[in-house]
Amino acid sequence: MLTRLKKRVQLLLAAQAKLLHKMGMTPNIISAMGILSAFLAGCFYWAAQFNNFFLIIAPLLLLLSGFFDTLDGIVARLCKGTTVFGGFLDSLLDRYADAFIFIAIITSGLCDLFWSSVALVGSLLVSYTRARAEATGSKMETIGFAERAERIIVLTIASFAAFFWFNALFTGIVILAVLTNLTVLQRTIYFYNSLK
């Protein structure tokens, strides 16, 4: 859904992307900074079982990871450095980031094992359905309620709210579990219809 705003966001971030490019930052370095931010976010989600304050730091790092994930593509286009492998690597690192965040939440005991697992599987399958469909030439971007940007926003809001009301994170994970798997269903139906 938010992917429709992607061009506007890219225009707003073009100045930052040019600055990073002038500083010698390559798309792969920015992607590495994104996965590092996601890794640190996961560490703070895991540590939140000991101190609720970490539920403020973790989503900030998650947002930073999403910011770098957006910037790497913009820098790649600006410096005409887009490659098939770069796109593959970016998508692969995003899946690792998603998985690490959910695994950290699961192992910390911050949320119910069942719903966290359903949300994790749904998140991975949202990306998988897009990759499989687009491999056949069917455009899948913007299809569905819970693309990566929406998932980051839901988890961020739920995390901030959990600092004041702990069950907010559980509620956010349940919402993600439902929306991600609904998105998989939407994409499956869309792909089936596109074949007709």
The domains of the chain, with CATH numbers, are 2-195 (1.20.120.1760)
**Number of Cβ atoms within 10 Å of the Cβ of 29:** 15
Q: What is the pLDDT along the chain (196 residues), one digit of tens a residue?
A: 555 565 676 667 777 777 777 887 888 888 899 999 999 999 999 999 999 899 999 999 999 999 998 888 888 877 776 778 888 888 899 999 999 999 999 999 999 999 999 999 999 999 999 989 888 888 887 888 888 889 999 999 999 999 888 899 999 999 999 999 999 999 999 999 988 7
Q: Which pLDDT does position 95 carry in this prediction? A: 93
CA distances, 128 to each of 58, 121, 142 (Å): 26, 10, 14
Q: Which pLDDT does position 188 carry in this prediction? A: 94
Let me know if 112 is a catalytic residue. Answer: no
Is the whole-model pTM more than 0.85?
Answer: yes
Given the residues 69, 94, 98, 112, select the one marked as catalytic: 94
The single-letter DSSP state of residue 5 is G
